[in-house]
Amino acid sequence: MAQPLLVLKCNEQTQKLLGLYIDNTLSWKPHIDSVCAKMSSRYSSKKIKPYLTLEMRKLFYNGYIACLADYACINWSHAAKSELARLKKLQKRACTYILNKKVKTSTELTNAHKELNLLSFYNRVRHFTSIMVFKALHNLTPPYIYDLISPSLNDNYSLRSYSKGNLK
């Protein structure tokens, strides 16, 4: 039986709650360390790669790798940019794995990502946030989530943001 790449021990500073590693400073570093380790181990398996078509490798990425970064990303997506940059780099490396290309520059990494027509990590976070807001506005979420969203309102002035139905 294979040993996990990253064994994160929970202590007074870090706790695991519903699959998220939360530390006492809410830096999200332990959680991102865990996600990066899992992502790296999942797409480094080169034994099955020759037997998969491009379409199968894309399905493998979406179903087995991208889901790790997607889980609860609305909560931890505001971590330090240096931590999130590690995820972005891993996502781009996974794109080169899917395309079966060797890259030398960051421009080639970006081109591989665009060639597959995949959303970047930041755009995936926006996508999931938009879904959550839509569900909250249509009463498809619990009340405590709906209560977090309120219309832009100013009692003193009639503002465009209120007439357009913008949210705060």
The reported pLDDT for the residue numbered 100 is 78
Kindly indicate the confidence band of residue 8, based on its pLDDT and cuts at 50, 70 and 90: low
> Does residue 44 lie in a domain region?
yes
Q: How many residues are there in the chain?
A: 168
Whether 128 has a pLDDT exceeding 90, the answer reads yes
Q: Indicate whether 168 belongs to any domain.
A: no
When comparing pLDDT for 48 and 79, which is higher?
A: 79
pLDDT in tens, 50-67: 788 888 888 888 888 889
DSSP 8-state code for residue 61: I
Give this prediction's pTM.
Answer: 0.76
Cα–Cα distance between 87 and 5 in angstroms, integer?
Answer: 16
d(CA 28, CA 21): 7
Of residues 125 and 150, the one with the higher pLDDT is 125
- Residue 80 domain-assigned? yes
Domain that holds residue 39: 14-121
Whether 160 maps to a domain, the answer reads no
Give the total number of structural domains in the chain.
Answer: 1
Classify residue 155: in a domain, yes or no: no
Residue 143 lies in a domain: no
Binned at pLDDT 50, 70 and 90, residue 102 comes out as confident
